[in-house]
Homo-oligomer: A and B are copies of this chain.
């Protein structure tokens, strides 16, 4: 690889050519007071002309800011590559970053527990200014870890606990309300909820809300726990759909798009007609829901917007804001072909 030595343009070069001090160049570049408008203009012009971009390492070292945020995803590759959830989330983060000229340091660790170490290292190494966290657990060790290291962080979660970490909170009760009201209007009375793993706080919150809100509406609620995988969705669906006619649910609310697809397929295999004999709602919309036949009714949570809000909150925290909680807007139910009268 015949590679030219990259001759870097520095503020010293600019200072020399303009015959001023490096400090003045720095002030001019950063829009700080301390230079005349004229000097500032000359600096900016020359910087533009020379294609100057400040060394991120030098900035990070002297100003202790990197302009970079970190996201560490500790999930099974199988699930994560299939779901589409994270890719849309990343896009939302990037939209904000593109405008703010920030960067994203990404790590996909898988579910081996290595993620804590990555948070610790990146924080200590000063690689990032803050983190966005997903998939909160009970007594999530990431919270005390980041707090103890003084690292700004935003948890995207359903839990409004006040533990001094930033939180972008999804009001699950509103989502649950939208789904249940839809089913109620169609006359459904026996409903089952196939959730993801309840080790995730958001899944537990959803399950609780679902039961509470369903009961309040006079519905018979049943909750079973899945793993997000296709197989898991198929297994649980099979169990539920082979119950006696009197107890069998007439509607299933399914924790993600993959399991919802599996449910749809299982119903077909069992000869259960959708939506005539069974209604299905997927918790998260995706292409899978779109290309399924019949097309799956699903919640659109505005994932990209949500991710953008999370990033916004994180940047505000990094900037010194003390407002740690914000709420994301409720999504909209895309009523397609898998929900009908009970």
Contact = CB atoms under 8 A, between A and B. Distances in A.
A58 interface: yes
A46 interface: no
B107 A104 contact: yes
Contacts of A126: 8, 55-57
A56 B58 CA distance: 11
Contact of A108 (B55, B91, B123, B147): B91
A245 interface: no
A41 to B, nearest CB: 22
Contacts of A53: 120-121, 124-125
Contact of A258 (B108, B287, B317): B287
Interface string A288-312: 1011110000000000100000000
A60 B165 CA distance: 30
Contacts of A165: 1
A84 interface: yes
A116 interface: no
A166 B1 contact: yes
A181 interface: no
A88 interface: yes
Contact of A56 (B5, B82, B125): B125
A124 B150 CA distance: 30
A200 interface: no
A82 B324 contact: no
A227 interface: no
A97 B107 contact: yes
Nearest to A60: B57
B98 A103 contact: no
A64 B302 CA distance: 41
A249 interface: no
A103 B108 contact: no
For the complex of A and B, list the 7 residue pairs with the smallest distance between their C-beta atoms, beginning with the closest: A57-B60, A53-B124, A6-B150, A57-B61, A82-B287, A94-B108, A56-B125
Interface of A: 1-6, 8-9, 51-58, 60-61, 66, 68, 77, 80-82, 84, 86-88, 90-91, 94, 97-98, 103-109, 114, 120-127, 147-152, 164-166, 230, 258, 261-262, 265, 268, 286-288, 290-293, 304, 317, 321-322, 324
Given A53-B124, A97-B107, 10 more contacts: A5-B150, A8-B126, A55-B125, A57-B58, A57-B61, A91-B108, A103-B127, A104-B106, A105-B105, A268-B293
